[in-house]
Amino acid sequence: MLKQPFGSMTKFFTRERFGRPQFLAALLLLIFLFQCAFLSSRASRFPNADPSENRILGGLQLWQGRVGHASYEPAQDGLNPAADELNISRRDPYRSPMYYLIAAAPFAVWPGTIPAVSPLWSFLSRAPFIGFGILLAGSVWYVARRLYGNAGGYIALALYCFAPGLIRSSAVWFAEPETGAAWGAFGAVFTAIAVAHTLYAPREVVLWNWRRILLLGLSLALAIGSQFSLVVLLPIVLLLMLYVAPTRQLAASVIWLAACLIAAVLLFAAYGFHPGSFAEGMRHAHFFGLLPRSFTMGAAYVRLFAELGQLCPALWMAIPAALIVFIAWRRTRYFGNIAPLILGIFFLLLGMATPHYPGLGFRLISLPFLFLFIAGIAADLLETAHRQLVLACLWGLLGAYGFWSVMELIRSSTT
């Protein structure tokens, strides 16, 4: 009787679950965490590193129930903290209260008052978004490894862990924290695909998939709650499910509706289950702020190219090379490569059409999908007779990219 639990644990800690690939992935995740922690430790020297620390105060007011209409954020002048605490003067049209509740969660749990200039404040104010950044990195590695094997997983994760844009957003270093929205969007897309794949299993579909349905609803709630404009995920998720399971479209639609209902309940909960607050928040929400004329302006494309390089310099070389292979080699044109490419381009175009917020959020959200596309093309090339040449190119690109990113990180935090 006493041997059964230990036997179960032995089966759980197997080489398939915790082997060399997992160890190397964990090492890359630790490097990413170290870079985020390094920036966070320098925050006290740069008071303006976090451009919106008042969101913590607004979130605490929400946790304490002192704000009736739960889609407000504190005044941003910062001249009178006491007045800011009592005078909530600006409604956030781009995010739900969920964003502020998550940001302030560590302070709601931590007992006592923490000075805003202390290292502990700096760490706690960034902890949720660093956590989202790590979770998104783990999700990218997991999906890439399932789609393209270990090599694809390593390539996608290496591109992610040294991306300056993702490090800055996770560490809230002169950037808005968008990792929660990015993780929600990425999770919603690939959870939907996973759910649709299981519809062909000979079991009771809806009840058997309740965990994935719940996860899909949580992902949608996190994405839309962090950025209202990500409501565009709803039709995307439905289309993906219908495409993957064309003979089970009714079941896919039912699962989609159930996930949407879960997401709606969670968003309603963020408003304190107050119908009036929820209705008012939705009435003032800006779901879309598209400027179609951006597509006719040459400067917009130049700006997009420049910002993409700032978010991840390796994309300047990796994306053109991957696109050339994708166009020239028919073998690479399958769903596992096409879907990330289309979604990455789609979010880039949305970011281009919204030059201000939430445009930067869209561009950041596009990165994990672009990393998957590059990893998929590279994994296909590694299976050819030119494997050694491809390996040399990958080691050169990723090595130079990682070294440059670390040096730039050190330089930016000391100047």
**How confident is the model at residue 87, as a pLDDT?**
36
Tokens of 262: 């879960």
Last residue of a domain, one of 124, 152, 172: 124
Top-confidence residue, 70 or 266:
266
**176 within domain boundaries:** yes
Q: Are residues 301 and 328 in the same domain?
A: yes
Domain containing 363: what range? 125-414
**44 within domain boundaries:** no
Q: Is the pLDDT of residue 132 over 80?
A: yes
**194 within domain boundaries:** yes
Q: Kind and range of the H or E element at 90?
A: strand 90-91
Cα separation, 109 vs 95, in Å, equals 22
Q: Are residues 229 and 194 in the same domain?
A: yes
Tokens of 42: 């320098």
Q: Are residues 192 and 304 in the same domain?
A: yes
Q: If pLDDT is split at 50, 70 and 90, which confidence band does 12 have?
A: very low
**How confident is the model at residue 277, as a pLDDT?**
85
Angle at 278 between CA 277 and CA 279, to 5 degrees: 95
Secondary structure of residue 114 in the 3-state scheme = coil
pLDDT digits (tens, 9 = 90+) for 71-97: 444 444 433 333 343 333 346 888 899
Residue 218 to residues 162, 211, 264, 383: CA-CA distances in angstroms?
Answer: 28, 11, 10, 37
- The angle that helices 119-161 and 97-109 make with each other, rounded to 10 degrees, is 120
**409 within domain boundaries:** yes
**131 within domain boundaries:** yes
**How confident is the model at residue 46, as a pLDDT?**
65
**How confident is the model at residue 357, as a pLDDT?**
65
Last residue of a domain, one of 107, 124, 141: 124
Q: If pLDDT is split at 50, 70 and 90, which confidence band does 53 have?
A: low
Tokens of 182: 């990015």
Q: Are residues 320 and 335 in the same domain?
A: yes
Cα separation, 58 vs 75, in Å, equals 9
| Contact yes or no for 184/219 (Cβ under 8 A) | yes
**How confident is the model at residue 62, as a pLDDT?**
84
Q: Are residues 103 and 195 in the same domain?
A: no
Q: Are residues 145 and 64 in the same domain?
A: no
Percent residues over pLDDT 70 in the chain: 81
> Cβ–Cβ contacts within 10 Å for residue 381, how many?
22
Q: Are residues 251 and 120 in the same domain?
A: no
The residue behind tokens 């950025």 is: 227
Based on the structure, what is the number of domains in the chain? 2
Last residue of a domain, one of 103, 124, 145: 124
Top-confidence residue, 277 or 142:
142
Buried b / exposed e across 330-339, counting CB within 10 Å, b at 16+?
A: eebeeebbeb
Angle at 284 between CA 228 and CA 238, to 5 degrees: 30
Q: Are residues 116 and 134 in the same domain?
A: no
**402 within domain boundaries:** yes
Q: If pLDDT is split at 50, 70 and 90, which confidence band does 414 have?
A: low
**124, amino acid identity:** L
Percent residues over pLDDT 90 in the chain: 49
Q: Are residues 95 and 175 in the same domain?
A: no
Q: Which of 224, 199, 185 is nearest to 346 (CA)?
A: 185
Instruction: Tell the burial category of 97 from Cβ atoms under 10 Å away from its Cβ (0-12, 13-18, 19+).
Output: buried
Q: Is the pLDDT of residue 98 over 50?
A: yes
Q: Are residues 160 and 199 in the same domain?
A: yes
Q: Are residues 93 and 233 in the same domain?
A: no
Instruction: Tell the burial category of 393 from Cβ atoms under 10 Å away from its Cβ (0-12, 13-18, 19+).
Output: middle
**91 within domain boundaries:** yes
Cα separation, 161 vs 150, in Å, equals 16
> Cβ–Cβ contacts within 10 Å for residue 320, how many?
10
Q: Is the pLDDT of residue 8 over 50?
A: no
**How confident is the model at residue 204, as a pLDDT?**
54
Q: Are residues 205 and 81 in the same domain?
A: no
**34 within domain boundaries:** no
Average pLDDT over residues 14-37: 85
| Contact yes or no for 192/245 (Cβ under 8 A) | no
Q: Which of 192, 269, 189, 256 is nearest to 225 (CA)?
A: 269
Q: Is the pLDDT of residue 58 over 60?
A: yes
Cα separation, 403 vs 272, in Å, equals 47
- Of the candidate ranges 130-134, 199-203, 358-362, the one whose mean pLDDT is the lowest: 199-203
